[in-house]
Chains A and B, each alone.
Chain A
Amino acid sequence: MPEIRVTPLGAGQDVGRSCILVSIAGKNVMLDCGMHMGFNDDRRFPDFSYITRNGRLTDFLDCVIISHFHLDHCGALPYFSEMVGYDGPIYMTHPTQAICPILLEDYRKIAVDKKGEANFFTSQMIKDCMKKVVAVHLHQTVQVDDELEIKAYYAGHVLGAAMFQIKVGSESVVYTGDYNMTPDRHLGAAWIDKCRPNLLITESTYATTIRDSKRCRERDFLKKVHEAVERGGKVLIPVFALGRAQELCILLETFWERMNLKAPIYFSTGLTEKANHYYKLFITWTNQKIRKTFVQRNMFEFKHIKAFDRAFADNPGPMVIMPGYCVQGTVGHKILSGQRKLEMEGRQVLEVKMQVEYMSFSAHADAKGIMQLVGQAEPESVLLVHGEAKKMEFLKQKIEQEFRVNCYMPANGETVTLPTSPSIPVGISLGLLKREMAQGLLPDVKKPRLLHGTLIMKDSNFRLVSSEQALKELGLAEHQLRFTCRVHLHDPRKEQETAVRVYSHLKSVLKDHCVQHLPDGSVTVESILIQAAAHSEDPGTKVLLVSWTYQDEELGSYLTSLLKKGLPQASS
């Protein structure tokens, strides 16, 4: 029985360290290869030793797919490819390929420089890893090998983020990665066609959240920032997710221009600045508005926002705005949970004195968005990842109720197995179709009906043709198969006379059919043949031999039941 198996090594009832193994029609694919922000030891990377007990990873895995450049989706990639030893292909979109090394370098810098870790991947390893990447375009079907193909769809979320369809024969899985179903100031909304996959693996970060209008949120944000600045204060926005920095920069830049504000806005040099370069480069991946106005003015060329210099650093102002989801174990998560004292590494304790605001500018789909995507793709079943267990449970029930499909939410290490029915494509001959059409019934998806024909298997292909054509093609002679039945009649007359009586009776009953009395004494009704014979033991009884072809099975059965009732008495 063919099946699809899914095992999350990370992101199973968890946010962070996304790494999902999918086995589909004998092909093994790893979806994302992320790290967990909440750990500094071995636990930050997925435990790859579970992928295969036997043999090399390169032999086991057919490919690795990276959905986007955030570290919880690609942070373990150089470790996996250069230190664990995976040497096969890695697929991602062009912008992801361009921006990934910037984030990986930054991550390496933090690990090696700030935390002094020695056994970490090097810059050379990041480069060697990136050289194994095969970049893909949106909607381009990429053949990984003769059987496995993948296709990327626009996911919004961040520049270059993609959902991937993985297909082997007629079986397919869609992995969403992180996505956003509502367009924002610089990106469009996620979109996928009605591809009806066997399984949709979707993120569920905001499984229970229905976000209010984005306009209100933006207005509140700008109001808060403006008020703080007007009071002479400063606002620190720790934008931990690349992509959100660009979104907020555009928001602030537009507001500053409109309000003619003079207070300086800085963004920290390094990451955002480097990424801005790619945002300008991959303008086709942004939303329609930015693409349209790009010739007059590239929205990523900011006028009011300047690169930050260390010389400006003093006490962070009175307000901190956290603009998105904070992974468990991080400083952001602690501050948002209301912790007023933070123990930093080396047991240094910092007091949180500033005002903290949480305003979700997160580019994840909310519950409504997730339901919308499920409706769009029409999967046979859904699997939730990248979320918290309790919230997933709620969404799972909702999906099962609304779409009447199975929904799964495996924990890390748990395997979900989905049986799939093998779909065998069969070609149908034009002749057979024409005959079917001649009956006046047009094909209709909603009203399936039976079609008779002969199935021919030739050169690993199946074709349904008419019996005549099948015989002709295969050079075979037709064999007639007849059903037979004996009916006993009490009639002391001679066989010929009994036959005449049968003929007369049937002629009177079956007015619409062609009833014939043949010279040899037998009677025919269409293909049905009736012969009368004497009973070997009882001369007062005659035996009627009735035979018919399968085409006239209905009539044959009717006739025998009619004869079994006996013949009418002769009028004379």
Chain B
Amino acid sequence: MDPECSQLLPALCAVLADPRQPVADDTCLEKLLDWFKTITKAGSSLLLLQENPCLVELLCHVLKPQDLSSRVLSFSLRLAGVFAAQEDCFQYLQQGELLPRLFGEPGPLGGAAWTAPSVRSGWIQGLRSLAQHPSALHFLADCGAVDTIFSLQGDSSLFVASAAGQLLVHILGLSMQGLAEGHPSLQAGDWPVCAQKIVGHIEESLHSTAVPQITQALNVLTTTFGHCHDPWTQVLWVRLSPLVGSLLEKDPVPAAHSLVDLLLSVARSPGLSSSSCGLWETLAQTLNHLSPTQAGPLALGILKLQDCPQVLRAQAFVILLQPLACVLKATGQDPGPSGVLDSATGDSLTVDVLLSSKAACVGLLCRTLAHLELLQPLPQRPCPWPQEPLLGAAVTLLQLCRGSASPASDVGRHLCALLLGCVRVQRAALDFLGTLSQGTGPQELVTEVFAVLLEYLRSPDSSPTVLKKAFQATFRWLLSSPKTPGCCDLEPHALLVLRELLPVLQKRLCSPCWEVRDSGLEFLTQMTRHWGGQAGFRHALLASEVPKLTEQLLRDPESYVRASAVTVMGQLSSQGLHVTPVSPEHPGGQQKSLLVELLHILSTDSEGFPRRAVMQVFTQWLRDHHADVAGDTEQFMARVLQVASQDLDWEVRAQGLELALVFLEQTLGQFHSHCPYAVTPPVAAPAGSLAQALQPLCRVRLFEFAFRALFDCDRPVAQKSCDLLLFLRAKTASSSGSLEESRSGPDVASVEAALQRWQAGDQGQPLGDLEPEVVAALDCSQALNEDSLMG
């Protein structure tokens, strides 16, 4: 500890111990504790206490009956725990009987302060820190703390209750650590006292009729089996599994969610799942006993397991599919040839849930769709995967929500009434439909998929969030359309869809909702990125009004939309999809070029997003040698850097440095990787002298921009400028021998002086025209040594 801090500690402890000086700021206690944790982590707690007796005095003082703030008491309990985590310090505190007084019956436990949740929480957290060694276990057993922890599992504070459960798991693990390797005895009498007590309490709770108690016991077991895979956990499971199994005999099954968590935790534990204690039978039995809503997570968990009997997997999959099978059956559809959905159709319980109320129906369907969405991309997903019926079900659900399906059965009509206009199911079904694009499907079904997606994109009733998901799903399906080998263009069917899609997109770009316009532009960006170079796409796009509308959106009132429009326009222009039309008023000339328009946005837009987007487009254009830039790169660079340097948004200035770096690379050669194994590409440095090479950089005033950025008050900008200048130094150092004499010249001195003023905060004065020789000399000089750059 710093001597300064040591000196301050007594005064600090005095303030904490004085009830007349309430601590006005709770967060400082938290931060103080963080500081103590760091100190004790790095050194001996015992030494700390011996060198600073005020700390023990504080801990003693808080025990005196007084009007002390509950937060200071809580802090002291946690602090004592932090110190006692080291066994020698624990013994030291025990000598003064301080720990029993803090954590035992005579302490706050029995006092009025116990009613404050912060004190109970401090007590638990203190014990959690303390319980690190065998002496702590004896202490816990002796002072009766374990019983208090049991009762705190049902605390009115979620934080305290949850921490109590966690602490029990920790104590159980700690006490079992001492046991010899190998399988411990099943006899409870052979287990350590603390462990016996905790297991006994769990057994008692599992026998209880009170659901909260059963839940607490199941949660403790779930965490135990999830965190510890030692042999003793197998013995514990063998001992407790009959009790857990007996919960299934009750109707309804109590604490079903926690039971599912426990069983999955056991199944995931490598030692437990392989042991022959009837786990798979219990899982199968549980699947049958739980309601469809409760069984879903269990079924998903089982299907995610690496090793699991095939029969159980099949049973789980049937359960997971049941709600969708019911939807297919209710709408008179074929559940498909795979037979999986066929066997899932007969469950009347699922139908009952689906039809019981709108909330139940929506809840079950959304959960099922989310579970299947999670399962679909996994390697262990069931095989064969019923792609076709699932596609059919997703499409049907979307139709039911729109009211465009007309089921003949009563159940179907009832479902239709429940789901009509339900945004939650629409969103979940569109997400799932998007995921299903990773598989294939017969052409007629894919046609149906696109039809329903178009229906959603066209519908005036679709909410902005639904439209966003519809756009995303449509893109994924277009991406997955079968391609002609050797050609990455859209296949004919997808092209047909695109032709129908573009007018819809056109309409959506004119939506009064900015969210919809933006989602439309994001969709267009993705499409252009993928198919911008393909003839079919280009033709369709250019024949539509979409590029023109996008250009108009550069002047949208919403800045997010303007930014997205900038990105799209930049991309369209790169792909040659943006042709500047000839102005009818000036038949000889052209309308304002996109470059000018983007520069205008960069200099005048009041919001940061569009300006950042412009800088990204410019950087990409420079990289791609875009025609508008390549024509007169220097003029372009000079203009953009000048505008960017004055921007108030640090991200625009940082992006300016990115642009400058690309320019440097193109002028001087590639930015070398620091990786020693990287193959260094041939340097594209010009054949002429360094001064010649630096000339264009000076002309675009890149150095002034970089030096200004070096002293930028926003850290990322300064850091980026550092990178750029270090790169430049590495480039110039090797060939600057001839410039040695320039270093002491008057020009260098004046620029260095100006830079020092900049560093001091006075950036009003410009650097003037920098000559390459001065820059090279400056770059190598002490003023820019690595330390000062990094500082």
B385 at the interface (CB under 8 A from A): no
A50 nearest in chain B by CB position? B158
Does B699 have its Cβ within 8 Å of any Cβ on chain A? no
Q: Do A39 and B158 touch (CB < 8 A)?
A: no
CB of A53 within 8 A of CB of B519, answer no
Instruction: Give 8 new A-B contacts, CB below 8 A, not counting A328-B26, A411-B116, A412-B159.
Output: A130-B515, A147-B359, A270-B648, A329-B25, A333-B24, A333-B25, A337-B25, A414-B117
> Are A413 and B160 closer than 8 Å at their CB atoms?
yes
Q: Is B465 an interface residue (CB 8 A)?
A: yes
CA distance A368 to B45 in the complex (A): 50
Which B residues lie within 8 Å of A333 (CB)?
24-25
Q: A277 to B559, alpha carbons, bound, how many Å?
A: 13
Q: List, in ascending order, chain B residues with CB within 8 A of A538's CB.
A: none
User: Is there a chain A Cβ closer than 8 Å to B156's Cβ?
Assistant: yes
Residues 374-397 of A contacting B (Cβ, < 8 Å):
none
**Which B residues are CB-close (under 8 A) to A303?**
none
A31 to B162, CA, bound (A): 22
Q: Are A113 and B363 in contact (CB under 8 A)?
A: no
Q: Is A311 an interface residue (CB 8 A)?
A: yes
B118 contacts the other chain (Cβ, under 8 Å)?
yes
A290 CA to B31 CA in the complex, in Å? Answer: 45
Q: Which residues of A contact B100 (CB under 8 A)?
A: none
Chain B nearest CB, measured from A136 CB (Å): 14
Residue among B24, B367, B518 having the largest count of chain A Cβ atoms under 10 Å: B24
CB of A524 closer than 8 Å to a CB of B:
no
B370 touches A (CB below 8 Å) = yes
A111 nearest CB across to chain B (Å): 12
Closest to B362 in A: A145
Residues of the B chain whose Cβ atoms lie less than 8 Å from the Cβ of A14:
26
A324 contacts B by Cβ under 8 Å: no
CB closest chain-A residue, reference B367: A59
- Check B27 against A328 for contact (C-beta < 8 Å): yes
Instruction: Please report the C-alpha to C-alpha distance between residue A450 and residue B612 in the assembled complex, in whole angstroms.
Output: 73
- A97–B362 Cα distance when bound, in Å, is 28
Q: How far is the CA of A114 from the CA of B28 in the complex (A)?
A: 21
Given A87-B427, A131-B515, do A311 and B764 touch, yes or no (CB 8 Å)?
A: yes
Given A87-B427, A311-B764, A411-B157, are A114 and B715 also a contact pair (CB < 8 Å)?
yes
Whether the pair A127, B257 counts as a contact (CB closer than 8 A) is: no
Is B424 a contact partner of A55 (Cβ separation < 8 A)? no
Give, as a whole number of angstroms, the nearest-CB distance from B174 to chain A.
24
Which residues of B lie under 8 Å from residue A429 when comparing CB positions?
none
Q: Which 6 A-B pairs have the closest CB atoms?
A: A329-B27, A413-B159, A38-B27, A54-B257, A328-B25, A413-B157
Q: Is A54 touching B764 in the complex (CB atoms < 8 A)?
A: no
Enumerate chain A interface residues (CB-CB to B < 8 A): 7, 14, 26, 36, 38-39, 43, 47, 50, 53-56, 58-59, 87-89, 101, 105, 109, 112-114, 116, 123, 127, 130-132, 145-147, 269-270, 274, 277, 310-311, 328-329, 333-334, 337, 411-415
A16 to chain B minimum Cβ distance, whole angstroms, is: 9
Give A311's nearest chain B residue, CB to CB: B764
Q: Are A328 and B24 in contact (CB under 8 A)?
A: yes
Task: Choose from A113, A329, A415 the contact partner of B158 (Cβ within 8 Å).
Answer: A415
Closest A residue by C-beta to B158? A413
Closest Cβ–Cβ distance, residue B709 to chain A (whole Å):
14
Contacts of A26 in B (CB 8 A): 359
How many residues of B sit at the interface, in one of the four size bands?
35 or more
B471 to chain A, nearest CB (A): 11
Main secondary structure of the interface of B (DSSP, over half): helix
Do residues B159 and A123 form an inter-chain contact, with CB atoms below 8 A?
A: no
Contact in complex: A50, B370 (CB < 8 Å): no
A26 to B25, CA, bound (A): 37
Q: Mark B356-373, 1 if CB is under 8 A from A, else 0.
A: 001100110011001000
CA–CA, A274 and B26, complex, Å:
34
Q: In whole angstroms, how far apart are the Cα atoms of A123 and B159 in the complex?
A: 32
Which chain A residues border B367 with CB–CB below 8 Å? 55-56, 59
Which B residues are in CB contact (< 8 Å) with A112? 716
Taking the closest CB of chain A, its distance from the CB of B652, in whole angstroms, is 12
CB atoms of A53 and B465 under 8 A apart: no
Q: List 24 A-B contacts (CB under 8 A).
A: A38-B27, A47-B159, A50-B159, A53-B219, A53-B258, A54-B257, A56-B370, A58-B370, A59-B366, A88-B424, A109-B650, A113-B714, A114-B715, A123-B612, A131-B465, A131-B515, A145-B358, A146-B358, A328-B26, A337-B24, A337-B25, A411-B116, A413-B159, A413-B160
Q: Does B468 contact A (CB under 8 A)?
A: yes
Name the residue of chain A whose CB is nearest to the CB of B23.
A328
The reply to whether A132 and B363 contact each other, CB–CB distance below 8 Å, is no
Q: How many A-B contacts at CB < 8 Å in the complex?
A: 109
Contact A131/B159 with A88-B424, A116-B715, A123-B609 known, Cβ cut-off 8 Å: no
Considering the complex, give the chain B residue whose CB is closest to the CB of A39: B27
A151 to B715, CA, bound (A): 44
Q: Which residues of B contact A123 (CB under 8 A)?
A: 609, 612
- Decide if A113 touches B650 in the complex (CB within 8 Å): yes
Q: How far, in angstroms, from A114 to B713 measured CA to CA in the complex?
A: 9
User: Which A-chain residue is minimally distant from B559 (CB atoms)?
Assistant: A101
Contact yes or no, B715 A113, CB < 8 A: yes
Q: Which residues of B contact A147 (CB under 8 A)?
A: 359
Q: In the assembly, what is the distance between CA of A303 and CA of B190, in Å?
A: 85
Q: How far is the CB of A450 from chain B (nearest CB, A)?
A: 35
Q: Which of B743-768 contact A (CB under 8 A)?
A: 764
Q: Residue of A at shortest CB range from B607?
A: A274
Question: A47 vs B297: C-alpha distance in the bound complex, in angstroms?
Answer: 23
Closest residue of B by beta carbon distance from A309? B648
Q: Is B464 an interface residue (CB 8 A)?
A: yes
B92 interface residue per 8 A CB criterion: no
CA distance A14 to B423 in the complex (A): 36
CA A116 to CA B719, docked complex, whole Å: 11
Report the Cα distance A39→B427, complex, angstroms.
36
Query: B358: shortest Cβ distance to chain A, in Å?
Result: 5
List of A residues within 8 angstroms of B423 by Cβ: 89
What is the CA–CA distance of A14 and B25 in the complex, to the nearest angstrom?
Answer: 11
Question: Which residues of the other chain, A, contact B519 by a CB distance below 8 angstroms?
Answer: 131
B-side contacts of A114, CB under 8 Å: 714-715
Q: Give bound CA distance, A109 to B715, whole Å.
A: 11
Q: A269-B648, A411-B157 are in contact. Are A54 and B358 (CB under 8 A)?
A: no
A55 touches B297 (CB 8 A): yes
Partner of A274, one of B121, B424, B606: B606
CB-CB < 8 A to B156: which residues of A?
Answer: 414-415
Contacts of A56 in B (CB 8 A): 367, 370
Provided the pairs A54-B297, A413-B117, A415-B156 are in contact, do residues A131 and B366 lie with their beta carbons within 8 angstroms? no
Supposing A7-B158, A269-B648 touch, asked if A43 and B30 sit within 8 A by C-beta, the answer is yes
Interface pair B648/A145, CB less than 8 Å apart: no
Instruction: Give chain A residues whose Cβ lies under 8 Å from the Cβ of B191.
Output: none
Give the chain A neighbours of B30 by CB distance below 8 A.
Answer: 39, 43
B455-470 near A? 1/0 per residue, CB < 8 Å = 0000000001100100
Query: What is the CA–CA distance of A53 and B257 in the complex, to the nearest angstrom?
Result: 9
CB distance from B688 to the nearest CB of A (A): 40
Which of chain A's residues have a CB closer than 8 A to the CB of B297?
54-55
**When A328-B27, A333-B25 are in contact, do A59 and B518 touch as well, CB less than 8 Å?**
no
**Nearest CB in chain A: distance from B57 CB, A:** 25
B261 within 8 A of A: yes
Q: Is the CB of B28 within 8 A of A59?
A: no
B209 CB to nearest A CB, Å: 18
A113 in contact with B716 given A43-B30, A59-B366 (CB within 8 Å): yes
